[in-house]
Every structure is written in C-alpha cells, then in structure tokens.
Structure 1
Amino acid sequence: MSKKNKIAAALILFLATITTFFRWYIFEIELKYNLLLSVISITVLSFTWFFFRKLYGYLDKKMPYDKGIFKRLFLQIIITLIFSNIVSRIVYQIGINFINFQDLINEQFTNLAQVAGISSEILLVILLNVAHFSYYSLEKWRENALRASNLEKEKSDVQFDNLKNQLNPHFLFKHLIKSNRVFVFYL
C-alpha cells in the first residue's frame, strides 16, 4: 500500500471514528445503528476516495493544470459536487429506508440542518480540490527542482570533462594538428 493510500485510510478511519462519537454523544443514537452508520460512512468515504483518485488521474492526463488552472479546477469542483450530492442522497435514502430512526431524522432534518449539510459538502469539495491542487503543485515543484539539480550536475560534469581534455597531451596534439599550427622548437 502506497504512502498516499495509507494516509487516506488513516484519515477515513479517523473521520469515521469522530462521526461515530458525535452521533453517539450528540444525537444519542443506539450502538447498533451507530455502528451500521459507521460501516456505511467508511464504505462511502472509501468509494469516494477511489472515485476522486480515478477522476484526478484522468483529468491529470486529459486536462493538466498546465493547460488552464481555472478551467480544470472549475470542472473538477463541478464533477466532485455532483458526485458528492448523488452519494449523500443515496446514503440519506438508505438511512431512512433501512434504519429505523425516523423520529430522529424528522427531528434533526430541519432547514438549518439541510443548509449546514449542503454547506459542509461544498466546503469539503473545495478543500479536497485545493488539497489535490496543492499536492499536484508540490510534486511538480519537486520534479522541477530535481531536474534543475540534474542539469546543474550535468553542466558541472561537462565542464570538468572539458578541463580534463584540455590538459590531456593527446587532446592538445590532435587539437594543434587540426588547427594547422606548426611549432618549431629551436635549441
């Protein structure tokens, strides 16, 4: 498992743990329902992570940031907003159809809760896209720094080889013959 996937898995487990705690502490949801919601959360977050990785990989190949940052970010944000909206609607339908806590949903699902949910989706999508752009930019910066370092090393190696060749007597002799210079030595 790559370092990036390990970080994502740890983050998913952390988020699932935090949400499980809040559902228990704030909403006082029964343990069996809370654990079921935790499994659903982990599944949805894992599926979302997989979808975003594939989407970003596809967009990195077809529409790299170098060809238009704002166009790419706009498209990326729109796609991720649509995806997260669809997933949240599916999870909501699962919640009200399969889990018997309709009273809690009716009590908590107010207009304010809807606005907070939509706002948190938008904020999460924007943060996710900014994080991806930051990571992408950092990787490009590292690649460019490594390339510049390699070019500097090559330049130094070529300069060193040129200096060595200038001190080599065979090089000097061949160079003198090519330049048609004749030296006469007098005793």
Structure 2
Amino acid sequence: MKPIFKEIPRAIIISLTIFFVLVLIRLITGNSITFNYALLVNFGYTMLYGLTLYLSNAIVFMYLDKVFQAERFTPKRILIGFVLSFLVSVLVIFFLRIFEDVIVDGLSFSVFLSQEHMANYLVAIIITLVVTLAFHAFYFYKAYAENKVKEQKVIAGTASAQFESLKNQIDPHFLFNSLNVLSSL
C-alpha cells in the first residue's frame, strides 16, 4: 500500500474535526445550526478543503523526509518544511477556490480573478497554519522520542554486552579458584 493512502483515514478525521470545530464556533457565537442543504454543502466543502490540504501537505512532508533522510530534525529541514507547507497550502487553496467558483458556481475565470481578495484565503490559511504547526510539532516530537528510544536501546545493548563480557571474564577465574581450593583440601 502506498504511503499516501495510509494518510487518508487521518485526513478524514482531521477534516471532520475541523468541520465540528467550525460548527461549534458558530454555536458559541450565537448562530443557530439547522440541518439543511446549506449545512451539507458546507460539510462537503470543509471535507474537500481538509482532505486536499492534508494530503498535499503529506506529500510535501514525505518528499522532504526522503531528501533530508539523515537530517530530519535540523532547523533547516523544519524551516523548509514549514515554508513549503505554507506555499503549497496557498496554492491548493487557490485551485480549490477556482474549482468552487469557476466550475461549481459557473463564474468565468476573469470574473473570478477580479473578485479574488486575500480575505477569501484568510480563514483557510489560518486553519491550515494551526493544523500544520500542530502536526509539525507532534510529528517531530514523536520522531524525536523514537530516536531517543533507539539511542537508549543501543546504550542498553552496549551495557548488556559489557556485562556479559565481564561475566565471561569472571567465570574462568571463579572456576580456577574453586579448583585451587579443592586441590588444596
């Protein structure tokens, strides 16, 4: 199974979580939630944006893991990952907005471009930044912890080997001393 397909369940869970957080924000701010077609469309767009953004960023991180295989936890890798993730996210949001306005809503491309403003991207970029930072932090903490466990296993293996070596050195002396005691008796 390709690694990107393993990410789909996680992408679905994150997209659903974002949808429920957005609904919760509406409820907290005093807006009412009605289960109608508009909510279904909102759910569809949230899932579309969430899945597409997550999977595109997952591809970026998988590529960077291959490029920085030996240097996965350097500040250079983290900075490049964050900047690339941000740029890919903005580009994906732009293409999703084209899909939403031009293909689904039927606007012409020139009208779409004339109506584009940075405010159209603000919420999506903020959510993407928060999710990206959270996953960046979680991912690197998890990988850092795994590396620490590997280091501890190597240290434990070395200590165990040293112990066995010392034990093997002591055993012949013990046997020799025991034989000496027996022969003197």
TM-score class, shorter-chain normalisation, is 0.5 to 0.7
User: Post-superposition shift, 1:28?
Assistant: 8.3
| Structure 2 residue 49 is matched with structure 1 residue 44 | yes
Alpha-carbon deviation of 1:76?
2.5
Q: Could you say which residue in structure 1 is the equivalent of 2:127?
A: 124
After superposing on structure 2, the runs of 4+ consecutive aligned residues of structure 1 that deviate more than 6 Å are 27-30, 170-173
Specify the structure having the higher radius of gyration (Cα): 1
**Residues 117-144 of structure 1: CA deviation (Å, up to 9, x unaligned):** 4322332232233223212311221122
TM-score of the pair, normalised by structure 2: 0.64
* Number of residue equivalences: 160
Q: Distance in 1 between matches of 2:88 and 2:151?
A: 36
Unaligned runs of 5+ in 2: 108-114, 177-185
Unpaired runs of 5+ residues, structure 1, are 99-109, 174-187
- Equivalence map 1:156-175=2 (5 Å): 156-169=159-172
Instruction: Give the alignment's TM-score, normalised by structure 1.
Output: 0.63
Contact 2:86 2:129 in 1 (8 A): yes
What does 1:132-171 align with in structure 2 at a 5 Å threshold?
132-169=135-172
Alignment partners' CA distance in 2, 1:30 and 1:165:
75
Structure 1, residues 130-159: CA drift from partner, whole Å, max 9, x if none? 223212311221122111210221122122
What letter corresponds to residue 97 of structure 1 in structure 2? Answer: G
d(CA) in 2 for partners of 1:163, 1:53: 49
| Corresponding residue for residue 110 of structure 2 | none
Distance 1:157 1:59 in 2: 36
Q: State the 1:39 CA deviation.
A: 2.5
Matched, 1:84 2:106: no
1 CA distance for matches of 2:103 and 2:39?
A: 14
Show the counterpart of 2:183: none
Match of 1:66 in 2: 74
The aligned counterpart of 1:75 is 84
Amino acid at match of 2:136: F
The superposition leaves residues 4-45 of structure 1 with CA deviations (integer Å, 9 ceiling, x where unpaired) of: 75554233223334556849x859889224323422332332
Q: Which amino acid aligns with 1:151?
A: V
